[in-house]
Structure 1
Amino acid sequence: MNDDYTTLSRRQMLAALGGVGLASAGAGLGTSAYLNDTESFDANTVTAGRLDLKVDWEEHYSFPQLYGFDDPTVGLDVTRTEPTEPSAYVGLPDPENPMVWVREDDLAAYMDATAIESFPDPDGDGAQEMSTEDFEYVPCEDGADTGVHFDPSVEGALRTRNAGTYADGEVKPLVSLEDVKPGDFGEFTLSFHLCDNPGYVWLQAANVTESENGLTEPESEVDETPETPELAEQIQTAWWYDIDGNNVIDESVGEVDVMIAVDTSGSLSDDQVGELADAANTLASDLVADADARVGGLTFGGDDVGNFTALADSPVTFSGLSAGGNTPMPAALEIAAAELDANARPDAETFVVLLTDGGPNYANKTYAAGGFTVGGDYTGGDPGDSEIDDSEMDETAAIAADIREDHHILAVGINDNRAPTGREGEPGVPLLSTYLRDQIAGTMANYFSTTDPAAVTNVLDAILDVIATPEEVFRRGTLADDLAALSSGNGIPLDAGRSTAFDELADAPDDPARQCFQAGVNYFVGFAWWLPADVGNEVQSDGVGFDFGFYAEQCRNNDGSGPAA
């Protein structure tokens, strides 16, 4: 039998993934919704604020062999019994209810080995890739928001194609659980991106189907309701805000030591540098106030790394900064990392936060600050002009990759939807945003984008979350109950504030504690599921499938209550 939890068609569901906007002037369906929030007359035309939401994802399964992948445990320390040294292991998929424990050093390899589908996946291996030699992913241009994005059979498709996504000439749901055995588990992380304006966001499910698929002999002996599938009722779940986008629940944060690097190069004005300094000072103060944090900092620009402040319990304060000259980004990164290497607390998690409006442009020389000297072996710099050369980008990327072995790099790119300076229109040159995201920050979760220096304040809460806020599990339960909640009304109202008291399941969506999601931030929602090992034969041959979706409406002139369901 099939149970449909909602009347949404698949095409409407996919439109929901693209973002649906609603305002008093009317409703709009599709990837862009024009809202009657701020109107201006320009050449006798009315321009309204725009809301554009894009989605990408990665899915994991503990038995990827079902889809033609190799055994994910080969060569890795993975156990189904609690280890004698549990602090060295990560319990999956939910640390409170682990099915397996993976040694922390093997976690990244295990997650890669259990990836069964993703978007974007240009090479079709199941794992998400942000860039390849011939491809760079720009969420607000390439993200999923229409039906064609979910069909892995079309030319240029970015969704993985395998038996789990496409079979018998039909596109399969985003989550399709079949032949699930007790002890199996999986995980699905959705990332969503508001591309224009802040918005309220709801998580939804549609096209929910459950089926018995007939009875096996063992199932027929214990299943007292042969016409009713039981799999969704037996599957246990956890939903959380996966702040760092690593597909793993982490509800704890300890000591953090942070160096903030502020760009003062000549592509900025003195006023804009002052705005960056104000944002850096706010971030430093918030870190010290809200976490067990020590914060230092430095500036880079004008062929110099300066204004160095060592790690300290009192936050760094930038003042009196002026703009000018080139952008010695590699030196700033190396000196910030050197301070963390030398003076970070032994058990602290360490971060470099880079605020910049451009790519690296520097001289091959030594740079000194805080008692550290770097740059004597630089060969990629070209101080002769302001053009960002490949050699400068490559050398800085290599330095950043080395630093990321020991420290996190968070990068804020300003006015980044463009080519690096001097490379406009040149084929094969990445956008500044993708360079800073993939080559400097290294992950989507650690990259933030703003239109101008004044707007950096809009992403500070998100940066604070990545560094110093525990991930919040907002629901634990059964898949059956989850699907009922996700398919009811407007779905589950999500909250951008990790430190607020908003309860996604109990509170009204217009509760004042609920916060809007910001443009320029990559947000992640994780969904973990597992079938307990003690579940009996009644679920044999059962299946369940469903699609995820989002509803979004602009914050301005809306209170979060959403449309009438």
Structure 2
Amino acid sequence: MERNDGFQLSRRKALAALGGVGVASAGAGLGTSAYFSDEESFENNSLSAGELDLKVDWQQTYNGPIPNGDGEVGEHPVNAYPDTAVDGQSYGDGLQDLDGVRYSGAGELDPVFDAADVPACCDCAEDEYYVTYGGESYCVSAISGDESTDEFYDYDTGEWSSLNDDIQRRNTTVLFLYEDDEGDIHLFIINNELDNTRSSDNGFVASVTVEGAEGSQWLNAAWIDQDEPGTDIDAYQDANGSNVATADWAWQNRKTDGGVLGTLDEDFALRVTPALNNAATYDGNSVFQDQTDIERLVLLDGDTSTEVVLEDTVGTDGDLDPIVIHSSCGIDSGAELDTPAVFRSQNYPDQEHLVELDDVKPGDTGEITFSLHLCDNPGYVWFMAGNFSQDGGTLTEPERVAMNESDPGSVTESDDTGTLADYVDVTLWYDDDCDNTYDEEMETPIFEGTLAGLMDELGVAEGADEESDDFSGMLGLDADPNDGDDVECFPAQEGFCIGFEWEVSTEVGNVIQGDSVGFDLGFYTEQCRHNDGSGPDGNGTN
């Protein structure tokens, strides 16, 4: 898909389909009324074509005049996608979020999740939650009940355990979302089974850390503490304004332990990191050894009988991947985007293109962090540019002097073809932490130079195909840029960020007065399988 709107999202689907049904049978008979027979059948066979879909979202900032800021100059958001509409408008505040959960690297607070974590590729139903664990993804539903969380957990002080055996599993840590009788959502975590005859004499230990995205309202959530001996549960807000809740559980043999976190906001994102067996702590200290009692990690889906087994063998070390839960997921791309409205924000309510700034001065800077998500299959990815053009605009007297100080009167309108791109410094880099800032010591540059130099690097000639929808230049990206010369494919279902920063040189004078530059940016992908990364023209770069 391509659009001639200053920004393009491209994708290529490689499809192959084949289907067939086979039936084999044999029979033999002797006599007139008796026979032998046999039939082997293979029914409902199918092969489905795979998909390759590249989804791109972004956060753009500008360090320059703030719209309606009474002349104030500073860094502020220009636009972002996704960006939830606010105040009944068709646009948002310019900071990247999905239904209120913040993913932007811009702004005053750092969210727990970044743009690479935007759940771009899923298609969960409206009443489902998107869960990822260990490279796999699931759409799950909350368990709906007509009881409060206390009643559903059914904690008994005499047993020091939950009496709801439907949510218990032997030697297992169980997690699920529960919608109570008031319609509020809670996160349940329960360990082991009451009267578990398989338990060792050592008892059990488990810990968990739950992080929530800034912008979600679950900072008001608290553990419903079952308040039994040997339990250390804490909920707090960490230093950067994001939300963290922790729990350390130690309990006796043949008992259960756990807790309930809530109420969660209607829109939320959580990172739940279990630490079981030897990885468990108590009050932040590692005090347990040779604990192997927790064997499985299970997520309940929609009811107490439907299990999603995340780990079937936990192991002694018990150090597990995070479980990430998003209340919303899925973004549009390409032709599905609502353009030009997608480029608008509170600061720029009339913008119709990705980059559209008309009063840029020397010293002004801007940045776009694109986050890319390959859905379904891994792929090679290229950065693209095209439709590069410059315009000299109105020729002013100061510009005449700058162009020919000794004889400014000899400079004519035809001489002023525009040179702004030669004075715009550009950095293109792998933004590993998606924070809209280039870290020269930690992050890898893709290109450093001028905007004109970038176009030259890509082989994009000024003025070529100016009215075309085609990109004429491509620059190959590498999933592992610091590992030798071979170009690595980008994995499916994992996001990554590319930063594009520009700055008008403070050393330039009047020579750029009134000049403008136009260009298209985009990305292109091809499936990894059956390709070598050389690109559509075979050289891997242009």
Q: What is the TM-score of this pair, normalised by structure 1?
A: 0.43
Please state which structure has a larger fraction of its residues in helix: 1
Please state which structure has a larger fraction of its residues in strand: 2
Q: Which structure would you say has the larger Rg? A: 2
